[in-house]
Chain A
Amino acid sequence: MRKIDYLDQLENEAIHILREVAGQFEKPALLFSGGKDSICLVHLALKAFRPGKFPFPLVHVDTGHNFPEALKYRDDLAARINEKLIVRKVEDTIKAKKLQDAKGKFPSRNALQTYTLLDVIEEFEFDACLGGARRDEEKARAKERIFSVRDEFGQWDPKKQRPELWNIYNGKINKGENVRVFPISNWTELDVWNYIKREKIDLPNIYFTHERDVVVTDNGQLMANSEFLQLDQGDVIIRKKVRYRTVGDMTCTAAIESEAYYIDDIIQEIKEAKISERGATRMDDKISEAAMEDRKKGGYF
């Protein structure tokens, strides 16, 4: 039997899922964060739909704590591929809904962005939202379906998940519900990097080594110094050669010390890495054993 390269298999599966979304839903959207996973998703959508236009807009929930490099990349990309980009700001939701803004030394708007996300889904009546989440990231994600039905409050109920068999995706929903769809569920961090290399996908430069002013947290994580941090008197800012393994908010994504400038160096670094992607870089998952499961039940991606 002819062997198909695993990257081709993963790519084929993702394109198949993207086209199912186009075929099954009236108003889908692609949630774009500026991170490598959603950048891959856009690349896959180009392969799925060109020479046609995307059957969905790109939607970005802007927390206000983003890396400026990621925002610039986002705008350049949308312009280059000539697709519609919708941006909604957590800042505006906080004002409109009179929400309590995030506090503390490293104020994370991670929880607040769920409000903005649910609002934008309601505003445009999106019935499906594509996201770049992967099952290898976290153990609650490992249990989530590729088509994940959410109720009208965006909540995930792991006990009520629909069985998902073969390559048959059931996206039928009642009014008010929506489906979160994860076309790269079966990819690992390394698969994503190997794919980026193979496809020569351009990334925001913060993924590669650069010099940056950072603050070292109590548990040794390196946080980019920015206007969003509430530094104490004793905090020392040091300049280090760093890069990011994952790009989220400046306030909750840690950098890693790295000299990796070329993609091959990064792939080697990940192969040798002894710490998982989220473990190395996310402050928000460290809160409790079921942090991600709880956030998903509350409507988070």
Chain B
Amino acid sequence: MDLLRFFTAGNVDDGKSTLIGRLLYDSNSISTDIIETLTKQSKTTGINTDIDLALLTDGLRAEREQGITIDVAYKYFTTEKRKFIIADTPGHIQYTRNMFTGASNADLAIVLVDSRNGITEQTKRHSIIASILGIPNLVVCINKMDLVNFSEAVYNSIIESFEEFAKPLNLNEISFIPVSALAGDNVVTKSQHTDWYQGKTLLDYLETVQIVNSAKKVDSRFQVQYVIRPQTEDLHDYRGFAGKVITGHYHKGQRVTVLPSGIETTILKIEQNLKELTEAKTDDPVILHLSDDIDVSRGNTIVPIESKPRTEKEIIATICWMDNAAFIPGQKLILQQNSFRTKAVLKDVLNKIDIHSYKAIESDGNIKLNDICQVNIKTAEPVSFDSYSENRSTGSFILINENTNNTIAAGTIH
């Protein structure tokens, strides 16, 4: 059994939380004590249904009071075929940063569209964020079909306008499903009202969709997280570099380069859980031993000598600003890419992305909360990176305010 991470985007009114509630409820993933609590709550706050399924995901008091989702909530359910991790992200424009957060490590995006309203500014914004973050698969749930008499014409016209809008976006695979989250049509069980729809229900789709890596080529990448040096009598000279194989393969005897120093060496040994491996692959948490006694520390990148990433002190990236305080020119920042950190300054704001049209517009140099911009960043130490379209992990970073320590932006490298 494998694991699928997806996020849901849509306005409160599009029925996003209701859809998640429906998925969990109809797949028997909610316990009776929680249903009991919900029934109680629904009587006071709920709208026109026995159980207000939206209340399932709104975990904070302020959210329940205001009836909106403020922060990302994670939900889990398992079927016979897959384990699912759902990041339920808020839809309002003022929570773009939370959506960015929830979407960052998702394999798939569910975008909700209210069938009565068709494609809205929200729909566009959510799809654009999915595109910037390179989400491999996107499924558009055309919701509230019950309110348009399950009309095939309405469904088709929404598909048409979405496909037209999505042409310039970097989206791999787009699917469409007509649903009613409130009534349950085509969520877990096939609707009686959509004979004209031959496709899968949402759950069936989620259980069977093949997640394709959007990157064209995958180079081997490893970054050191922690140096293990027991310094005991019997392990006196032991010095292992613990980290995760970010992508690709590593094998014993392989010639590698340590970056940023550029020193070449050979992998002497690969260890995992006290066992020696001949080969390590993507996602394996291993300990690498190198044949030469060279200086390697946390944040260093170890790569095959024949496929080096770019290693530079200047990067161009698309960033999403996440701090309440606007950007101040000259502001001292820390850039963190996986476990690597360096001081950095944001030199130029090249342009701003219009979140509704995906067009680059001229920047006045200001960056405010939720803005998405293309920028030029200069770093104190060289960064070893790939472009985000080639590698979602070595091509992404966060910016930290050196003074407050808060994460103030997230970026994807060009």
Contacts and interface: CB of A to CB of B under 8 A. Distances in A.
B230 A53 contact: yes
Contact of A166 (B104, B210, B211, B281): B104
B226 interface: yes
A158 B71 contact: yes
A233 interface: no
Interface string B68-110: 0011111110100011010000000000011011001100000
A162 B407 contact: yes
Contacts of A136: 75-76
A279 B225 contact: no
Interface in A227-260: none
B198 interface: no
B338 A167 contact: yes
Most buried by B among A3, A19, A49, A289: A19
Contacts of B338: 167-168
B71 A12 contact: no
Q: Mostly helix, strand, loop or mixed at chain A's interface?
A: loop
Contacts of A172: 334, 400, 405
Interface in B1-28: 1-3
A165 interface: yes
Contacts of B298: 23
A140 B32 CA distance: 19
Interface of B: 1-3, 31-34, 37, 41, 56-62, 64, 70-76, 78, 82-83, 85, 97-98, 100-101, 104-105, 210-213, 225-226, 228-230, 235, 238, 240, 242-244, 273-274, 281-285, 298, 322, 334, 336-339, 392-393, 396-398, 400, 405-407, 410
A280 interface: yes
Contact of B61 (A163, A173, A280, A290): A290
A50 interface: yes
Interface of A: 1-6, 8-12, 15-16, 19-20, 22-23, 47-53, 55, 135-136, 139-143, 158-159, 161-168, 170, 172-174, 185-186, 188, 190-191, 273-276, 279-280, 289-290, 293
B72 A143 contact: yes
Contacts of A190: 78
B33 A142 contact: no
Nearest to B31: A276
Given A190-B78, A273-B31, A276-B33, A162 B406 contact: yes
A135 B74 contact: yes
B226 A23 contact: yes
Contact of A276 (B34, B61, B235): B34
Query: Which 7 pairs, one residue from A and one from B, show the smallest C-beta to C-beta distance?
Result: A279-B33, A139-B59, A276-B31, A6-B3, A165-B104, A15-B285, A172-B405
B336 A47 contact: no
B228 A49 contact: yes
Given A158-B71, A166-B392, A170-B405, A188 B2 contact: no
B143 to A, nearest CB: 23
A12 B34 contact: no
Nearest to A15: B285
Contact of A163 (B97, B213, B229, B282): B97
A48 B242 contact: yes
Given A143-B60, A170-B405, A6 B1 contact: yes
16 contacts: A1-B211, A12-B244, A19-B225, A19-B242, A49-B228, A135-B76, A158-B71, A164-B101, A165-B104, A165-B105, A166-B410, A167-B338, A168-B398, A275-B32, A279-B34, A289-B37
Contact of A23 (B61, B83, B225, B398): B225
A1 B285 contact: no
A50 B273 contact: yes
A55 B400 CA distance: 25
B75 A142 contact: yes
Given A19-B242, A158-B60, A163 B3 contact: no
B301 to A, nearest CB: 14
Nearest to A160: B406
Given A51-B230, A275-B31, A1 B407 contact: no
A168 B274 contact: no
B24 to A, nearest CB: 11
Nearest to B73: A142
B61 to A, nearest CB: 5
B405 A186 contact: no
Nearest to B61: A290
Contacts of A6: 1-3, 82-83
A3 B211 CA distance: 10
